[in-house]
Structure 1
């Protein structure tokens, strides 16, 4: 008979005793040490006086910009400048072949000489006839004819003078000069090409210092700006400096003045065109550059500010972490306002004295998590900084 192996099962009680014995051999020295609370940088909220301002996008434009076209026709003989150079007013930029115009001037001079001789002869003949008429040796008709010939000769001389002036002017126009001081663009026509009067674009010249920045101001900002100007201290346009920054700059490092506001709002866009005038001695601004404009549009007022990087977003809500009792990070929903040099105005949700986590916010795992706060160096309070 075939015999099968017999499997014996250990009693359940014996297994439990064995597990308890094994667990008793472990003394807990292998457990990882408890992690200390993460260190975070905190800043204490204090009221500060701010000057409300609005920010706009604008474009740098030259005060003067000229499209240079010839005033006489002819073939270009010389390009007399280096493209992209700064040129003074009156500098010769192009030379048109002057020979036809020099010949025209010589012709006009000869015709004037001829007219001058004819005028002299007519005057002598008139005097002779007047002498004869006094002695009754000639008729009144002869006197009238002499007077008419003298008047016609003098008119011909005036016309000849005008023709000489016109020929001299045209000869001068063969040298195309810069009408303004500024930076000259590339030559649109080169030597040997025909330049047609008042038609062919030769180049452009744009002034460099000062420059304008044009921007469109919305209706609400315009009304705030007007309300500020109603104050006698700010009544004149330009009483408040305007700050301007370029695309590669932080903040608004350049100061200018508003020197123009348009006379109406555009009903289609609800904006009004405004202009800032800026000094540009160092040629920082090039016409066409994008610029950011900060316009003071409100009165000075007290506000609570927090570093903008401390403000977090949860869907459509903004919140910060503040240090609560027991050094725990507590979530506080806030309503934020304008940005001021990297700091955000807090309209609701915080009060003076709150300690807000600014650095290390990412180390807070959850609301109520313990942290180790480290007070950051307090920033020096500026006198009425502008908020955008």
Structure 2
């Protein structure tokens, strides 16, 4: 009896589930039939949403094209040299009596630097003067003897041979006077060498000998004077650059040295404020380096430049042309060349072809295609196309020195 009851109960449960399922499908179909128009509209509205709600214009950054003086300076590594430098040496032998300067002192031409003990030299001068007096006395005696013998010859008292001998003695005595005078001049000159003075103005280095030391011509340099008011910067011009300059000169287009601006950058990165000028370019190429030596002259009133110092030399034209400068980030390139996007009326961008020249800071000098004052897109250019509307914001002007 229990088994038939269980089968009956299972049949009723299955029937209930089937009825619920049919009811659910009926409700769902009713809902679909009742709401068929809104879902379609909704689907249409999703399909039309891109047209109804367009994406905002792309945001870009623009800058105004500035006009600047543009030059492309040639850069060289130079070494400072002294135009005038003198090693002070002793020209006579003696003991140093005094050193009349301090190491590193500025001296002027004619200032006393060293004194060598003059006692021995004074004695030599006195001896030479005595020799001059002796020789002069001998000459006077020979001159008188010659005069007497000439009178005797006129009275035919002495022979001509005797007169000739007296004449020869007089000539020898006269020559001895000249020899003695030359010895005196030498002794006085050596005495003057005991007083050592500065031959040029400049800065003197340290004294290599102190008071009491024996010095002489073989002692080497006693000190060194370097003139610093005007210095020379030596640098090397490459063979290729020299050939280019020569070709320009041959065609009548060579550079005038007076139109060049020479400036220096020091080892600490600062610029030297005083400009220089070209002094000399060597007429031969060094076969080992393939360069030509050249020199420039710079005033150095504050003695900032010192001999042996390395500097960076820039050579450029004084009157450089003024050209528009476009930021480097604004320039694109394709097969046809370089171009930029300019912002026009109603925030519409247009493509502009340009020809670029020298680098100026973070930008390019434009030789053709821009006049200056235009608004150029510098950021967001990858998303742009001709005639596209954008949402611009102003950026910082491009920087760069000439």
Same fold flag (TM > 0.5): yes
Deviation at 1:260, TM superposition (A): 0.3
- Partner residue of 2:90? 70
- Partner residue of 1:209? 229
- Partner residue of 1:192? 212
- Check 1:135–1:189 CA distance in 2 against 1; reply closer, same or farther (3 A cut): same
- Check 1:160–1:322 CA distance in 2 against 1; reply closer, same or farther (3 A cut): farther
Deviation at 1:297, TM superposition (A): 7.0
- Partner residue of 1:130? 150
Deviations 1:178-232 (A, max 9, x none): 1111110011111111212154210100111211111111133334444666697
Aligned residues: 324
Query: Which deviates more, 291-300 or 199-208?
Result: 291-300
Q: Which consecutive unaligned segments of at least 5 residues does structure 1 have?
A: 1-38, 312-320, 328-334
Q: Which consecutive unaligned segments of at least 5 residues does structure 2 have?
A: 1-58, 331-339, 348-354, 384-389
TM-score scaled to structure 2, two decimals? 0.68
Deviations 1:18-76 (A, max 9, x none): xxxxxxxxxxxxxxxxxxxxx99864445655233201110111111111111111111
Higher helix share: 2
Give the whole-Å Cα distance in 2 for the aligned partners of 1:193 and 1:40.
81
Deviation at 1:324, TM superposition (A): 10
Asked if 2 retains the 8 angstrom alpha-carbon contact of 1:72 and 1:198, the reply is no
1:114 aligns with 2:134: yes
TM-score scaled to structure 1, two decimals? 0.70
SS at match of 1:68: strand
Asked if 2 retains the 8 angstrom alpha-carbon contact of 1:52 and 1:298, the reply is no
- Partner residue of 2:285? 265
- Partner residue of 1:162? 182
1:94 aligns with 2:110: no
- Check 1:40–1:100 CA distance in 2 against 1; reply closer, same or farther (3 A cut): farther
The Cα RMSD (Å) is: 4.2
Q: Look at both structures and tell me which one has the larger radius of gyration over its CA atoms.
A: 2
Give the whole-Å Cα distance in 2 for the aligned partners of 1:266 and 1:148.
63
Give the whole-Å Cα distance in 1 for the aligned partners of 2:94 and 2:222.
13
Alignment of structure 1 residues 300-319 onto 2, 5 Å: 305=325
Deviation at 1:275, TM superposition (A): 0.8
SS at match of 1:67: strand
- Check 1:258–1:169 CA distance in 2 against 1; reply closer, same or farther (3 A cut): same
Q: 1:172 aligns with which of 183, 192, 195?
A: 192
Alignment of structure 1 residues 1-388 onto 2, 5 Å: 43-46=63-66, 48-226=68-246, 236-251=256-271, 253-296=273-316, 305=325, 340=360, 342-345=361-364, 355=376, 373-377=393-397, 386=402
> After TM superposition, which residue ranges in structure 1, 4 or more long, deviate above 3 angstroms?
39-49, 223-239, 249-253, 297-308, 321-325, 335-340, 342-348, 350-357, 370-374
Asked if 2 retains the 8 angstrom alpha-carbon contact of 1:245 and 1:253, the reply is no
